[in-house]
Amino acid sequence: MAFEGLSERLQKVFSSLRGKGKLSDEDVRKVMREVRMALLEADVNFDVVKTFVKTVRERALGSEVMESLTPSQQVIKIVDEELTNLMGQEAVPLNKSKHIPTIIMMVGLQGAGKTTTAGKLANRLKTQEKARPLFIAADVYRPAAVEQLKTIGQQLDVPVYDEGTEPDPVDIVKNGLKVAEENKNDYVIIDTAGRLEIDEQLMDELKRIKELAHPDEILFVADSMTGQVAAKVAAGFDEQLDITGVVLTKLDGDTRGGAALSIRSVTGKPIKFIGQGEKLDQLDVFHPDRMANRILG
């Protein structure tokens, strides 16, 4: 289960406070040392943990006293609020263009879940807005990727523009956008190539696609199982492409929390959706407060 270890650790830490009438500075410091350990073990980025612990400690030691809450409830409340802040406070909607089509470009490392998430997004737009999206298959390095997108297209009854794996992906995108214009598709979802790690050639290609397509949304798809590495990779993509949002995938697995808790702070970009399964309807809007509650158990 996602965040299991972290939740258990935090619950244990907070239960040690239960029944205490008033918390001494030493109590607070001790608790925050434990929270720090728990977050580091959950693979949260070191700087993020440092700032988080400092903020919570200062608030808990400060004059904030709510009469209705016990001291331990107060600490939990502060941790809850700061976890929410760390993940961005509010849900952030998908960017939308004033003129059709809204263009969404999916980017990320291979295996993160780009193609699957492209399908999930199209499914969501179709069911919620009765939208008529078009996929563009621009991952020409992995022949299976084009086939995978076509299969998803068939399942969802969403057209896929593809030219196989020979042409330059920038040309494929250019031609695909023309088709979208002719057919008056309201959304275009571009599936791009990934690699096992960031490389210059890939970034160059993605930049060229961006320059041509002017996407309204560049979604970095991050595998939450990769922990804080996901945040580092996201920062790399952001630096090159100025991403507009993040999708965290595989939150149905036993991810520890490092990605969810680091990525917003490290990139400054909002997590917009979370993937919670392999099926095409398993994509949800990301709500930082709900995620904080889930972590606190």
| Residues at the site binding ligand GDP, with contacts judged by CB under 6 A | 108, 110-116, 194, 221, 249-250, 252-253, 275-278
**For ligand GDP, the closer CB: 113 or 176:** 113
Written as six digits, the tokens of 270 are 């909002």
Q: At what angle do helices 46-61 and 71-86 cross, to 10 degrees?
A: 140
Nearest-approach distance from CB 1 to ligand GDP, in angstroms: 13
Which residue ranges are tagged as binding site for GTP?
Answer: 108-115, 191-195, 249-252
Nearest-approach distance from CB 150 to ligand GDP, in angstroms: 13
**For ligand GDP, the closer CB: 28 or 229:** 229
Residue nearest to ligand GDP (CB): 275
Nearest-approach distance from CB 141 to ligand GDP, in angstroms: 10
**For ligand GDP, the closer CB: 55 or 165:** 165
Nearest-approach distance from CB 37 to ligand GDP, in angstroms: 28
**For ligand GDP, the closer CB: 102 or 115:** 115
- The one-character DSSP state at 99 is S
Whether the bond between 101 and the residue before it is cis, its omega within 30 degrees of 0, is yes
- Picking from 227, 205, 219, the residue whose alpha carbon sits closest to that of residue 42 is 227
- Picking from 5, 92, 39, 1, the residue whose alpha carbon sits closest to that of residue 276 is 1
CA–CA dist 212, 96 (Å, integer): 18
Which residue ranges are tagged as binding site?
Answer: 108-115, 191-195, 249-252
The CA–CA distances, whole Å, from 143 to 121, 165, 193 equal 22, 6, 11
